[in-house]
Amino acid sequence: MRVDTHPKGFFSIAESVSEQLLLGGMNVGEHKIRKVCIVGAGNMGHQIALSAALAGFEVKCTDVNEEVLKKAEQFVITYLPERVAKGKLTQAQVDAARANLSFTNDLSEAACDADLVIEAIIERLEIKRKLFAELDSLCLPHTILATNSSYIVSSKIADVTERPEKVCNLHFFNPALVMKLVEVVKGPHTSEETAQTLMNFCVSLGKTPVLLKQEIYGFLVNRMLAAIKNESIYLLDMGIAGHEEIDTAVTLALGHPMGPFRLMDLTGIDLTYIVGLERFQETGDPIYRPSPTIAEKFVKKEWGRKTGKGFYDYPNG
Ligand code: CAA
Protein backbone atom coordinates (compact mmCIF):
# COMPACT_ATOMS: atom_id res chain seq x y z
CA MET A 1 0.00 0.00 0.00
CA ARG A 2 1.37 3.43 -0.95
CA VAL A 3 0.15 6.46 0.97
CA ASP A 4 0.76 8.95 -1.83
CA THR A 5 -1.10 7.04 -4.53
CA HIS A 6 -4.05 5.72 -2.56
CA PRO A 7 -7.17 6.58 -4.58
CA LYS A 8 -9.48 7.23 -1.65
CA GLY A 9 -7.33 9.60 0.41
CA PHE A 10 -6.08 9.76 3.96
CA PHE A 11 -8.96 8.25 5.94
CA SER A 12 -9.15 5.15 3.84
CA ILE A 13 -5.40 4.78 4.33
CA ALA A 14 -5.83 5.05 8.10
CA GLU A 15 -8.61 2.45 8.00
CA SER A 16 -6.56 0.21 5.81
CA VAL A 17 -3.54 0.44 8.12
CA SER A 18 -5.75 -0.30 11.15
CA GLU A 19 -7.10 -3.32 9.31
CA GLN A 20 -3.54 -4.52 8.76
CA LEU A 21 -2.85 -4.07 12.47
CA LEU A 22 -5.91 -6.10 13.39
CA LEU A 23 -4.60 -8.76 11.07
CA GLY A 24 -1.44 -8.76 13.14
CA GLY A 25 0.99 -6.12 11.89
CA MET A 26 2.07 -4.06 8.89
CA ASN A 27 3.95 -5.28 5.87
CA VAL A 28 7.67 -4.63 5.35
CA GLY A 29 8.18 -6.37 2.04
CA GLU A 30 7.13 -9.93 2.80
CA HIS A 31 7.59 -9.27 6.55
CA LYS A 32 5.25 -7.49 8.93
CA ILE A 33 5.95 -4.78 11.49
CA ARG A 34 4.80 -6.31 14.75
CA LYS A 35 7.76 -5.74 16.99
CA VAL A 36 9.26 -2.31 17.56
CA CYS A 37 12.44 -1.52 19.46
CA ILE A 38 13.03 1.98 20.81
CA VAL A 39 16.64 2.75 21.69
CA GLY A 40 16.83 5.60 24.19
CA ALA A 41 14.20 5.89 26.93
CA GLY A 42 14.54 9.65 27.46
CA ASN A 43 11.99 12.39 26.85
CA MET A 44 11.21 11.37 23.29
CA GLY A 45 11.98 7.65 23.38
CA HIS A 46 9.62 6.56 26.13
CA GLN A 47 6.70 8.53 24.70
CA ILE A 48 7.27 7.09 21.22
CA ALA A 49 7.43 3.64 22.82
CA LEU A 50 4.16 4.16 24.66
CA SER A 51 2.46 5.55 21.53
CA ALA A 52 3.42 2.37 19.66
CA ALA A 53 2.35 0.11 22.54
CA LEU A 54 -1.02 1.89 22.71
CA ALA A 55 -1.40 1.32 18.96
CA GLY A 56 -0.99 -2.43 19.43
CA PHE A 57 2.67 -3.00 18.58
CA GLU A 58 4.90 -5.16 20.77
CA VAL A 59 7.49 -2.69 22.00
CA LYS A 60 10.80 -3.08 23.80
CA CYS A 61 12.33 0.15 25.05
CA THR A 62 16.01 0.09 25.92
CA ASP A 63 18.57 2.44 27.41
CA VAL A 64 22.09 2.06 28.77
CA ASN A 65 21.19 4.28 31.71
CA GLU A 66 19.26 2.41 34.45
CA GLU A 67 18.01 5.63 35.99
CA VAL A 68 16.54 6.83 32.69
CA LEU A 69 14.89 3.43 32.18
CA LYS A 70 13.35 3.50 35.67
CA LYS A 71 12.08 7.04 35.10
CA ALA A 72 10.53 5.97 31.79
CA GLU A 73 8.80 3.00 33.37
CA GLN A 74 7.60 5.19 36.23
CA PHE A 75 6.13 7.63 33.71
CA VAL A 76 4.11 4.83 32.12
CA ILE A 77 2.95 3.54 35.51
CA THR A 78 1.70 7.01 36.48
CA TYR A 79 0.45 8.21 33.10
CA LEU A 80 -1.79 5.30 32.09
CA PRO A 81 -4.09 5.26 35.17
CA GLU A 82 -4.38 9.05 34.84
CA ARG A 83 -5.69 8.55 31.30
CA VAL A 84 -8.28 6.08 32.58
CA ALA A 85 -9.31 8.49 35.35
CA LYS A 86 -9.64 11.25 32.74
CA GLY A 87 -11.82 9.00 30.59
CA LYS A 88 -9.33 9.10 27.69
CA LEU A 89 -8.49 5.38 27.77
CA THR A 90 -10.31 2.28 28.97
CA GLN A 91 -8.78 -0.08 31.51
CA ALA A 92 -8.62 -2.73 28.77
CA GLN A 93 -6.58 -0.40 26.51
CA VAL A 94 -4.22 0.36 29.38
CA ASP A 95 -3.80 -3.32 30.23
CA ALA A 96 -3.08 -4.12 26.59
CA ALA A 97 -0.52 -1.29 26.35
CA ARG A 98 1.20 -2.43 29.53
CA ALA A 99 1.38 -5.99 28.18
CA ASN A 100 2.80 -4.70 24.88
CA LEU A 101 5.56 -2.60 26.45
CA SER A 102 8.68 -3.74 28.24
CA PHE A 103 11.89 -2.03 29.33
CA THR A 104 15.36 -3.53 29.27
CA ASN A 105 18.96 -2.38 29.47
CA ASP A 106 19.97 -5.15 27.07
CA LEU A 107 20.21 -3.76 23.52
CA SER A 108 20.60 -7.17 21.98
CA GLU A 109 17.47 -8.52 23.66
CA ALA A 110 15.48 -5.44 22.61
CA ALA A 111 16.64 -5.34 18.99
CA CYS A 112 17.23 -8.95 17.96
CA ASP A 113 13.67 -9.74 16.82
CA ALA A 114 12.40 -6.21 16.04
CA ASP A 115 10.91 -5.38 12.65
CA LEU A 116 11.51 -1.69 13.23
CA VAL A 117 14.08 0.04 15.42
CA ILE A 118 13.66 3.72 16.29
CA GLU A 119 16.77 5.31 17.73
CA ALA A 120 16.13 8.23 20.10
CA ILE A 121 19.48 8.66 21.86
CA ILE A 122 21.72 11.68 22.39
CA GLU A 123 22.28 13.96 19.37
CA ARG A 124 25.92 12.97 18.84
CA LEU A 125 26.85 11.70 15.40
CA GLU A 126 29.70 9.39 16.44
CA ILE A 127 27.55 7.71 19.11
CA LYS A 128 24.72 7.20 16.65
CA ARG A 129 27.07 5.74 14.02
CA LYS A 130 28.44 3.29 16.55
CA LEU A 131 24.91 2.30 17.58
CA PHE A 132 23.70 1.80 14.01
CA ALA A 133 26.69 -0.42 13.22
CA GLU A 134 25.83 -2.51 16.26
CA LEU A 135 22.12 -2.61 15.39
CA ASP A 136 22.99 -3.71 11.86
CA SER A 137 24.74 -6.76 13.23
CA LEU A 138 22.08 -7.51 15.88
CA CYS A 139 18.92 -7.08 13.79
CA LEU A 140 17.15 -9.33 11.32
CA PRO A 141 17.87 -8.62 7.64
CA HIS A 142 14.44 -7.08 7.00
CA THR A 143 14.53 -4.71 9.99
CA ILE A 144 14.17 -1.00 9.28
CA LEU A 145 16.53 1.23 11.25
CA ALA A 146 15.07 4.70 11.82
CA THR A 147 16.51 7.67 13.66
CA ASN A 148 14.40 10.18 15.55
CA SER A 149 17.24 12.69 15.33
CA SER A 150 16.07 16.26 14.90
CA TYR A 151 19.13 17.41 13.02
CA ILE A 152 21.34 14.53 11.96
CA VAL A 153 20.29 13.30 8.54
CA SER A 154 20.35 9.55 8.02
CA SER A 155 22.87 9.75 5.15
CA LYS A 156 25.48 10.56 7.82
CA ILE A 157 24.68 7.22 9.46
CA ALA A 158 23.47 4.78 6.78
CA ASP A 159 26.95 3.92 5.46
CA VAL A 160 27.90 2.08 8.68
CA THR A 161 25.22 -0.49 7.89
CA GLU A 162 24.85 -3.17 5.21
CA ARG A 163 21.26 -2.01 4.66
CA PRO A 164 21.35 1.70 3.75
CA GLU A 165 18.05 1.32 1.85
CA LYS A 166 16.39 0.50 5.20
CA VAL A 167 17.77 3.54 7.05
CA CYS A 168 15.62 6.68 7.35
CA ASN A 169 14.82 9.70 9.55
CA LEU A 170 11.56 9.37 11.46
CA HIS A 171 11.16 12.57 13.43
CA PHE A 172 8.56 12.89 16.21
CA PHE A 173 7.75 16.06 18.18
CA ASN A 174 7.68 16.75 21.87
CA PRO A 175 5.53 15.62 23.69
CA ALA A 176 5.39 12.64 21.35
CA LEU A 177 2.21 11.20 22.88
CA VAL A 178 0.38 14.40 21.98
CA MET A 179 1.94 15.90 18.86
CA LYS A 180 0.35 14.58 15.71
CA LEU A 181 3.04 15.41 13.15
CA VAL A 182 5.91 13.10 12.21
CA GLU A 183 8.49 13.99 9.57
CA VAL A 184 9.63 11.06 7.41
CA VAL A 185 12.82 12.19 5.72
CA LYS A 186 14.02 10.12 2.81
CA GLY A 187 17.76 10.10 2.26
CA PRO A 188 19.28 9.37 -1.16
CA HIS A 189 20.00 5.82 0.11
CA THR A 190 16.48 5.21 1.55
CA SER A 191 14.24 2.99 -0.55
CA GLU A 192 10.75 4.07 -1.56
CA GLU A 193 9.43 0.99 0.25
CA THR A 194 11.11 1.93 3.54
CA ALA A 195 9.75 5.50 3.41
CA GLN A 196 6.24 4.26 2.61
CA THR A 197 6.34 1.65 5.37
CA LEU A 198 7.29 4.36 7.85
CA MET A 199 4.52 6.65 6.56
CA ASN A 200 2.04 3.83 7.11
CA PHE A 201 3.49 3.08 10.54
CA CYS A 202 2.90 6.72 11.58
CA VAL A 203 -0.72 6.55 10.44
CA SER A 204 -1.18 3.39 12.48
CA LEU A 205 0.00 5.35 15.54
CA GLY A 206 -2.73 7.92 14.88
CA LYS A 207 -0.15 10.45 13.66
CA THR A 208 -0.04 12.49 10.48
CA PRO A 209 3.23 11.92 8.62
CA VAL A 210 4.75 14.32 6.12
CA LEU A 211 7.27 13.02 3.61
CA LEU A 212 10.40 15.04 2.85
CA LYS A 213 11.73 13.85 -0.47
CA GLN A 214 15.22 15.18 0.26
CA GLU A 215 17.33 15.69 3.34
CA ILE A 216 17.75 19.22 4.66
CA TYR A 217 19.20 20.43 7.96
CA GLY A 218 16.41 20.90 10.55
CA PHE A 219 13.81 19.32 8.23
CA LEU A 220 10.63 21.44 7.99
CA VAL A 221 9.57 22.26 11.51
CA ASN A 222 12.87 22.89 13.26
CA ARG A 223 13.94 25.27 10.49
CA MET A 224 10.85 27.40 11.12
CA LEU A 225 11.17 27.05 14.86
CA ALA A 226 14.84 28.09 14.77
CA ALA A 227 13.95 31.36 13.06
CA ILE A 228 11.42 32.20 15.80
CA LYS A 229 13.73 31.03 18.59
CA ASN A 230 16.71 33.03 17.32
CA GLU A 231 14.69 36.20 16.95
CA SER A 232 13.15 35.74 20.41
CA ILE A 233 16.55 35.28 22.06
CA TYR A 234 17.89 38.30 20.18
CA LEU A 235 14.99 40.45 21.44
CA LEU A 236 15.57 39.16 24.99
CA ASP A 237 19.34 39.73 24.89
CA MET A 238 18.79 43.25 23.50
CA GLY A 239 16.59 43.99 26.51
CA ILE A 240 13.63 44.81 24.26
CA ALA A 241 11.26 42.59 26.27
CA GLY A 242 11.36 39.84 28.88
CA HIS A 243 10.84 36.15 28.08
CA GLU A 244 7.31 36.21 29.48
CA GLU A 245 6.31 39.17 27.31
CA ILE A 246 7.78 37.52 24.21
CA ASP A 247 5.97 34.25 25.00
CA THR A 248 2.73 36.18 25.52
CA ALA A 249 3.18 37.94 22.17
CA VAL A 250 3.79 34.68 20.29
CA THR A 251 0.88 32.83 21.91
CA LEU A 252 -1.68 35.64 21.65
CA ALA A 253 -0.71 37.17 18.31
CA LEU A 254 0.54 34.14 16.38
CA GLY A 255 -1.72 31.56 18.04
CA HIS A 256 1.08 29.17 19.00
CA PRO A 257 0.11 26.90 21.92
CA MET A 258 3.21 28.04 23.82
CA GLY A 259 5.83 30.74 23.33
CA PRO A 260 9.46 30.01 22.33
CA PHE A 261 10.89 30.23 25.86
CA ARG A 262 8.30 27.91 27.40
CA LEU A 263 8.90 25.59 24.44
CA MET A 264 12.69 25.59 24.98
CA ASP A 265 11.97 24.65 28.61
CA LEU A 266 9.89 21.74 27.32
CA THR A 267 12.32 20.47 24.69
CA GLY A 268 15.43 21.17 26.80
CA ILE A 269 17.78 24.16 26.82
CA ASP A 270 20.70 21.70 26.88
CA LEU A 271 19.56 20.51 23.46
CA THR A 272 19.26 24.08 22.13
CA TYR A 273 22.84 24.68 23.30
CA ILE A 274 24.41 21.42 22.09
CA VAL A 275 22.71 21.42 18.70
CA GLY A 276 23.49 25.12 18.14
CA LEU A 277 27.14 24.69 19.11
CA GLU A 278 27.63 21.61 16.91
CA ARG A 279 26.04 23.34 13.94
CA PHE A 280 28.20 26.44 14.51
CA GLN A 281 31.34 24.28 14.65
CA GLU A 282 30.24 22.47 11.49
CA THR A 283 29.33 25.50 9.40
CA GLY A 284 31.12 28.45 11.02
CA ASP A 285 27.88 30.40 10.56
CA PRO A 286 27.46 32.72 13.60
CA ILE A 287 23.68 32.46 13.33
CA TYR A 288 23.95 29.06 15.01
CA ARG A 289 26.29 30.14 17.84
CA PRO A 290 24.39 29.73 21.16
CA SER A 291 23.68 33.14 22.70
CA PRO A 292 25.29 34.02 26.04
CA THR A 293 21.88 33.56 27.71
CA ILE A 294 21.59 29.99 26.43
CA ALA A 295 25.26 29.21 27.25
CA GLU A 296 24.81 30.51 30.80
CA LYS A 297 21.68 28.41 31.34
CA PHE A 298 23.49 25.36 29.95
CA VAL A 299 26.42 25.79 32.36
CA LYS A 300 24.09 26.36 35.32
CA LYS A 301 22.11 23.22 34.37
CA GLU A 302 18.99 25.34 34.01
CA TRP A 303 17.79 23.11 31.18
CA GLY A 304 14.05 23.57 31.59
CA ARG A 305 11.45 21.16 32.92
CA LYS A 306 13.88 18.27 33.15
CA THR A 307 16.02 20.05 35.78
CA GLY A 308 13.21 22.01 37.46
CA LYS A 309 14.37 25.39 36.15
CA GLY A 310 14.82 27.00 32.78
CA PHE A 311 13.37 30.32 31.74
CA TYR A 312 10.55 29.40 34.13
CA ASP A 313 10.57 27.47 37.43
CA TYR A 314 9.12 23.95 37.77
CA PRO A 315 9.29 23.20 41.48
CA ASN A 316 7.27 19.99 41.06
CA GLY A 317 9.22 18.66 38.09
N1 CAA B 1 3.43 14.40 27.98
C2 CAA B 1 2.31 13.76 27.60
N3 CAA B 1 1.13 14.39 27.46
C4 CAA B 1 1.09 15.70 27.74
C5 CAA B 1 2.22 16.43 28.14
C6 CAA B 1 3.44 15.72 28.26
N7 CAA B 1 4.58 16.30 28.62
N8 CAA B 1 1.87 17.71 28.34
C9 CAA B 1 0.56 17.79 28.06
N10 CAA B 1 0.09 16.59 27.70
C11 CAA B 1 -1.27 16.26 27.31
C12 CAA B 1 -2.23 16.37 28.46
O13 CAA B 1 -2.35 15.14 29.13
C14 CAA B 1 -3.51 16.73 27.74
O15 CAA B 1 -4.08 15.58 27.14
P16 CAA B 1 -5.67 15.44 26.98
O17 CAA B 1 -6.20 16.73 26.46
O18 CAA B 1 -5.86 14.33 25.99
O19 CAA B 1 -6.18 15.11 28.32
C20 CAA B 1 -3.05 17.59 26.56
O21 CAA B 1 -1.67 17.27 26.36
C22 CAA B 1 -3.18 19.06 26.86
O23 CAA B 1 -2.43 19.33 28.04
P24 CAA B 1 -2.70 20.55 29.02
O25 CAA B 1 -4.17 20.88 29.02
O26 CAA B 1 -2.06 20.23 30.32
O27 CAA B 1 -1.82 21.74 28.46
P28 CAA B 1 -1.88 22.47 27.09
O29 CAA B 1 -3.26 22.54 26.52
O30 CAA B 1 -1.11 23.72 27.34
O31 CAA B 1 -1.03 21.56 26.11
C32 CAA B 1 0.99 21.03 25.04
C33 CAA B 1 0.28 21.23 26.39
C34 CAA B 1 0.38 19.84 24.31
C35 CAA B 1 2.45 20.75 25.35
C36 CAA B 1 0.78 22.32 24.19
O37 CAA B 1 1.15 23.43 24.95
C38 CAA B 1 1.56 22.33 22.91
O39 CAA B 1 1.14 21.78 21.91
N40 CAA B 1 2.72 23.02 22.94
C41 CAA B 1 3.58 23.13 21.77
C42 CAA B 1 4.45 21.94 21.72
C43 CAA B 1 5.36 22.02 20.53
O44 CAA B 1 5.48 23.02 19.85
N45 CAA B 1 6.02 20.90 20.30
C46 CAA B 1 7.01 20.83 19.24
C47 CAA B 1 8.29 21.10 19.88
S48 CAA B 1 9.58 21.17 18.76
C49 CAA B 1 10.15 19.62 18.77
O50 CAA B 1 9.62 18.73 19.34
C51 CAA B 1 11.35 19.50 17.95
C52 CAA B 1 12.17 18.34 18.16
O53 CAA B 1 13.04 18.16 17.32
C54 CAA B 1 12.04 17.39 19.28
pLDDT in tens, 292-315: 999 999 999 999 999 999 999 999
Q: Which of 178, 220, 271 to mutate to test the pocket of ligand 1 (most atoms within 8 A of CB)?
A: 178
Cα separation of the two ends of the chain: 43
| Inter-helix orientation angle 260-267/221-237, to 10° | 120
- Residues pairing with 181 in the sheet: 208
222 in catalytic set: yes
Tell me, in angstroms, the distance from the centre of ligand 1 to residue 257's CA. 9
| pLDDT surpassing 60 at residue 288 | yes
What residues contact residue 4 under an 8 Å CB cut-off, 6+ apart? 196, 199, 211
Starting from the edge strand earliest in sequence, which strands make up the sheet with 101-104, in order? 101-104, 58-62, 35-39, 116-119, 144-147, 167-172, 181-185, 208-212
DSSP state of 112: T
258 lines ligand 1 (CB under 6 A): yes
Q: How many CA atoms lie within 13 A of 294 on its CB side?
A: 23
- Domains, the chain, with CATH or none: 3-212 (3.40.50.720), 222-299 (1.10.1040.10)
In this prediction the pTM is 0.89
Task: Report the mean per-residue pLDDT for the chain.
Answer: 91
148 lines ligand 1 (CB under 6 A): no
Q: How many CA atoms lie within 13 A of 244 on its CB side?
A: 2
| pLDDT surpassing 90 at residue 58 | yes
Confidence of residue 316 (pLDDT cuts 50, 70, 90): confident
267 lines ligand 1 (CB under 6 A): yes
| pLDDT surpassing 70 at residue 4 | no
How far apart (Å, rounded) are the C-alpha atoms in residues 69 and 135?
19
Which pLDDT does position 74 carry in this prediction? 98
| Residue 177: other Cβ atoms inside 10 A | 16
| pLDDT surpassing 60 at residue 255 | yes
Pair type for strands 181-185 and 167-172: antiparallel
Which pLDDT does position 165 carry in this prediction? 98
Which pLDDT does position 256 carry in this prediction? 97
- Share of residues in the chain with pLDDT > 90 (%): 87
How far apart (Å, rounded) are the C-alpha atoms in residues 115 and 26?
10
How far apart (Å, rounded) are the C-alpha atoms in residues 219 and 194?
18
CB 189 within 8 A of CB 199: no
Which pLDDT does position 26 carry in this prediction? 65
The three-state secondary structure class of 291 is coil
pLDDT in tens, 183-214: 999 999 999 999 999 999 999 999 999 999 99
